[in-house]
Structure 1
Amino acid sequence: MTVHADIILRNGPIWCGREEGVVEALAIWQGKVLAAGGEDEIAGLAGPKTQVIDLKGRLAIPGLNDSHLHLISLGMTMGWVDSRPDAAPTLEALLGAIAARAATAKPGEWILSRGYDQTKLDTGRHPYREELDRAAPNNPVMLVRTCGHIAICNSQALKLGGIDEASPAPQGGLIEQQNGRLTGLLAENARAPVQAAIPAPSEEELVAAIERGGKYLLSLGITSCMDAAVGQKAGFREIGAYTRAKRDGRLPIRTWLTLLGDEGRSIVPSCHQAGLISGTGDDMLMIGAVKLFLDGSAGGRTAWMTQPYLGEDETTGVWMWDDAELEGMVMDAHVKGYQLACHAIGDAAIEQLITAYEKALAAHPDPDRRHRIEHCGFSTPAQHERMVKAGIYPCPQQVFIHDFGDAYVKVLGPERALPSYPFRTWFDLGLKPATGSDAPVCDPNPFPNFSAMLTRRTWKGTVMDAAQRVTIEEALQAYTEFGAFSQKREHVKGKLVPGHLADVAVFSRNLLTADADAILNDTACDLTILEGKIVYERPSA
């Protein structure tokens, strides 16, 4: 029986993978790649019902894999007040946006906002509690920094959270005061009481967030993602929301679920009892790893460093766990069969995590468990040697260089900041670094991420150690094949080779030949194919 392709892509470069290179045409059949090769070879697979897509010189690649973002949070915050620098470049604009939302809200209704970066505001500082009070006098307000590790709360929000000047800061948390008065700034674990006072989302709201965020990702050429800390918003109910979203056809994107494992709010016991361990599911929805938070963010001065940040307070950041506590949680998840993907940005946090991984792997060897270090921003050469030896992999977000590089220089100084997120080093060591956005920390738009990998330039033009640049084909490999590798799915996706899932992104220009500025400023996703079906077409393409 002659097999005819369902879809054929032709008349444009088709990048199948770093080793496979570029072909002229691609045939898709029953959701998988049937063949890739020359125009004449693939033309023979066309039948009367085959849809032939003319690329018109545009580049097609495997669908992108954002290896670390928060899908539910992304979808939910799309309805919050936008306080990102583009939307609110000044403190006045930020407060005005909050006031505008408060003017349409009912008294007592929460005003939630995310995206500000104090280093990019005209004031160069965090907003104060009293300023939020004036913007929304009749509503509780929580303003979340872009990193997601710091929140500024107004007086009503603090009161609902039961926080006052006498409240002790919890382990792994900070309640800021100036002159004996709350500023409204809460960092890391100190935010929990206020977060608990915010009404929990319903299952329908969770499903809607999954659907909304997933559709946005498809419009960017992203066909796979990792939700990095399922359980943060609504506990184990988020597993049910994902399952319902898939059942009802409202899960737009392949999603690899990373389970919140922090003691006190972990959903791992419930998942393990239900038989949900790493690898459970299918390639549309799969249980991935367990997530523990070890520290905060560098830009927020809460990533845990061995040396102090610049400034008068001599802080080294915020650490979450004693060594024994962390090692116990890591060992428990490891013994239960889970891959781990833990948040560690500062060199002190990375050191603590590598040690915990090494002890778990020594006690219960598994040469291909692929425990991950999420972010891994300020790792050292000695730590890299141990990662290679133990099979521990970095999962960074190179867009951090673009969005936050200047903030790193400001809080750490150039000597420590410029070499951060050493992508070239990880490539050369064979550590197969993936990349992602950590959305909603950064927008999942892949083009600033590509630009950062190619140039190491920040949004202001600062070059963050040019020696850590990679080529465009290496950047594409990180976004596709290495993303699949980080999820142990490299044998089914991440390349356009026969038998792999037919997930394809088509871009408005050829990234292989375009300069970095054109990629950053003048490129769009024109077409996205998921499992052999067109799921997004840009209206003006």
Structure 2
Amino acid sequence: MALSQPISASPSSGPRADIILYNGPIWRGLEEGTTEALALWQGRVLATGSLEELAPFRDDATRMIDLDGRLATPGFTDAHLHPTYLGVVMDWVDISPQKAPTLEALLTAVKARVEQSQPGEWVFASGYDQTKLDVGRHPTMAELDFIAPNNPVMLIRTCTHVQIANSLAMQAGRITDNTPDPDGGKIDKVNGRLTGFLAENASAPILDAVPPLSRAAAIDAIERAGTYCLSVGITSVMDAAVGMKAGFEEIAAYNEAKRTGRLPVRTWMALQATPAHDNIVPQCHDLGLVSGAGDDMLMVGAVKLFLDGSVGGATAWMTEGYLADRDNHGLQMIPTQELETMVLDYHLKGYQICAHAIGDGAIDQLITAYEKALDAHPDPDRRHRIEHSGFLAPGQNERMQKAGIIPSPQQVFLHDFGDAYVTMIGMDRVYSAYPQKTWTQMGLKPPAGSDSPVCDPAPWANLHAMLTRRTGKGTQLDPAECLTIEEALQSYTEYGAYSQKQEHVRGKLMPGYLADVAVFSRNLLEATPEEILTDTVCDLTILGGRVVFERARV
């Protein structure tokens, strides 16, 4: 039996557990393995062992939770998602392939929302993937104008890096046929006329014209998204771009949500630093909000930079061009000298840095900037991160290992978008992308994430991709990069905590650790990948020793 260190009295005279879980495998961590029973007290793990060994910690007030063979694990960490944005998107029109597999279905869904809206009211829809539409292309401005002549409309591609706007939305952003491409963005035109397609920074003028998200609406979104995360076993998240939806007001929204009990999950905030007009870091730094400020429930994490786009949107910065246009290498979002200056500045100010880099061109640019900052001012435990880190060039893994850089991937991308990736850049570059087994073996400790609302934060597809390396259509990618179920759980728990410098506080179910627990509907350690994908749910979630989600069992 393992007892927490602060307890000096014998079990017979010591504390009594608030909750004891028993009668099922309790996975404490990769090295620690499973135990039969788990006692929780005052928000922390009190003890682990057999039910008999934990009996002295039980009294009439202890809630006994019978696992009935189900697996309990540390609460999962989604190391990269956008809770505020997810909460907002949950109120938008859903045009994902599951809801709108055809262009006609997509336009019908958007038209229905337009007809429910007042003239001039903005209409947003998200989740489309042109590679999965029956027409195999993006919707157009003309098609949106036809269904929405009196409302500004914007469609957001599933990757969030591409948007389609109608004429009224373009007018709101003062984008015309004569508007040039901005730095780090693309405005598509055919024969000199707008098509509606906008990539990366090109959509900024339109988004600036949208009424800002109020603090009350931001809190509603934070609560809505966090509540959903709890229902799928996620107890900790990284908000991968605080400030993206409401600027510095999001900091206030998060703190008010916490103060009023409306922050459902532990949140590690990555502060939006690019593009320049959305940079909230100067305000945060002036207030002393640097990495580590806060507490176990709400903490300032990293500074967030964007270096490129997405493969599906043909905007990820690749050294080799895209198949449909070999001259297109994607978008470089930040000039190299500017990036290196920013990285050094934030490094000196004490920030951990996490930067979006998917293509090998962006990854190389970022690793070099990190290397230069760390060489000039060494900090072997800063743990700068590369968000996504999907398509690497030879030698980049070794450079990350030497510099102590953490790759922060989303294996669910391979499940949801792997076949589209093959269409965009070819099997050779996709086959061994997102090499999580290699990273694990190299000791890089890659966490797991969903990038929600890009992908569903529910962990089933992510776990399936980690275990099988198969796409949603069944295409087999490099099987040498498959993880075991224990390694996959480690990514979701221990490595998630490590990526946020919280590995001594959470990510395991050992005495003294935070009492964050997820109970799943089956024993994942013995389930097939297909059972995990199609027939598994989270039955119960505990945060800080308190049951915060419980599914009714039939």
Q: Which range, TM-score by smaller chain?
A: over 0.9
**Runs ≥4 in structure 1, deviation > 2 angstroms?**
none
Structure 1 residues 48-447: aligned runs within 5 Å: 48-262=60-274, 263-312=276-325, 314-447=327-460
SS of the aligned residue for 2:338 comes to: helix
SS of the aligned residue for 2:48 comes to: strand
**CA-to-partner distance for each residue in 1:408-456, whole Å, 9 max, x for gaps?**
1000001011111011111111100001100001011100000000001
**CA-to-partner distance for each residue in 1:74-129, whole Å, 9 max, x for gaps?**
00000000011111111111100000000110000000011001111111111011
**Structure 1 position 313, deviation (Å):** 5.4
> Matched residues in 1 for 2:466 and 2:485: separation?
8
**CA-to-partner distance for each residue in 1:12-55, whole Å, 9 max, x for gaps?**
11001000101100000000000111121112211121000011
SS of the aligned residue for 2:119 comes to: coil
Instruction: Report the residue type matching 1:437 in the other structure.
Output: S
Instruction: Report the residue type matching 2:356 in the other structure.
Output: H
Instruction: Report the residue type matching 1:209 in the other structure.
Output: A
**Structure 1 position 59, deviation (Å):** 0.6
Instruction: Report the residue type matching 1:402 in the other structure.
Output: H
Instruction: Report the residue type matching 1:271 in the other structure.
Output: C
Instruction: Report the residue type matching 1:163 in the other structure.
Output: I
Instruction: Report the residue type matching 2:16 in the other structure.
Output: H
Instruction: Report the residue type matching 1:411 in the other structure.
Output: M
> Matched residues in 2 for 1:417 and 1:352: separation?
21
> Matched residues in 1 for 2:384 and 2:484: separation?
26
Aligned to 1:516: 529
> Matched residues in 2 for 1:98 and 1:371: separation?
41
> Matched residues in 2 for 1:428 and 1:23: separation?
26
Match status 1:9 vs 2:59: no
> Matched residues in 2 for 1:270 and 1:212: separation?
27
More displaced 10-residue stretch of structure 1: 449-458 or 127-136: 127-136
> Matched residues in 2 for 1:420 and 1:113: separation?
30
> Matched residues in 1 for 2:378 and 2:266: separation?
30
Instruction: Report the residue type matching 1:532 in the other structure.
Output: G
SS of the aligned residue for 1:529 comes to: strand
Q: Which runs of 5+ in 2 are unaligned?
A: 1-12
> Matched residues in 2 for 1:2 and 1:277: separation?
39
Instruction: From 446, 463, 467, give the equivalent of 2:476.
Output: 463
Aligned to 2:512: 499
> Matched residues in 1 for 2:69 and 2:85: separation?
36
**CA-to-partner distance for each residue in 1:335-394, whole Å, 9 max, x for gaps?**
000000100000000000000000111111101000000000012330111111110110
What TM-score comes out, normalization by structure 2 length?
0.97
Instruction: Report the residue type matching 1:284 in the other structure.
Output: M
> Matched residues in 1 for 2:364 and 2:273: separation?
19
SS of the aligned residue for 2:288 comes to: coil
> Matched residues in 1 for 2:450 and 2:399: separation?
26
> Matched residues in 1 for 2:54 and 2:145: separation?
65
> Matched residues in 2 for 1:538 and 1:381: separation?
46
Aligned to 1:536: 549
More displaced 10-residue stretch of structure 1: 381-390 or 370-379: 381-390
Instruction: Report the residue type matching 2:449 in the other structure.
Output: G
SS of the aligned residue for 2:474 comes to: coil
Match status 1:34 vs 2:46: yes
Instruction: Report the residue type matching 2:281 in the other structure.
Output: V
* 8 A Cα contact 2:383 2:404, kept in partner: yes
Aligned to 2:10: none
State the aligned residue count: 541
SS of the aligned residue for 1:380 comes to: coil
**Structure 1 position 138, deviation (Å):** 1.4
* 8 A Cα contact 2:320 2:326, kept in partner: no
Match status 1:449 vs 2:466: no
Aligned to 2:5: none
> Matched residues in 2 for 1:363 and 1:180: separation?
48
More displaced 10-residue stretch of structure 1: 408-417 or 128-137: 128-137
> Matched residues in 2 for 1:300 and 1:36: separation?
48
More displaced 10-residue stretch of structure 1: 168-177 or 129-138: 129-138
* 8 A Cα contact 2:25 2:72, kept in partner: yes
**Structure 1 position 312, deviation (Å):** 3.3
> Matched residues in 2 for 1:256 and 1:499: separation?
21
CA RMSD of aligned residues (A): 0.8
Instruction: Report the residue type matching 1:139 in the other structure.
Output: N
Q: Which runs of 5+ in 1 are unaligned?
A: none
> Matched residues in 2 for 1:408 and 1:312: separation?
14
Aligned identity (percent) is: 62
> Matched residues in 2 for 1:498 and 1:436: separation?
26
**CA-to-partner distance for each residue in 1:464-498, whole Å, 9 max, x for gaps?**
21111010000000000000000000000000000
> Matched residues in 2 for 1:24 and 1:233: separation?
44
**CA-to-partner distance for each residue in 1:493-525, whole Å, 9 max, x for gaps?**
000000000000000011100000000000000
What TM-score comes out, normalization by structure 1 length?
0.99
> Matched residues in 2 for 1:367 and 1:324: separation?
24
* 8 A Cα contact 2:515 2:543, kept in partner: yes
Instruction: Report the residue type matching 2:308 in the other structure.
Output: D
SS of the aligned residue for 1:25 comes to: strand
> Matched residues in 2 for 1:176 and 1:87: separation?
27
Instruction: Report the residue type matching 1:226 in the other structure.
Output: M
Instruction: From 521, 524, 539, give the equivalent of 1:526.
Output: 539
SS of the aligned residue for 1:342 comes to: strand
> Matched residues in 2 for 1:44 and 1:409: separation?
58
> Matched residues in 2 for 1:148 and 1:158: separation?
18
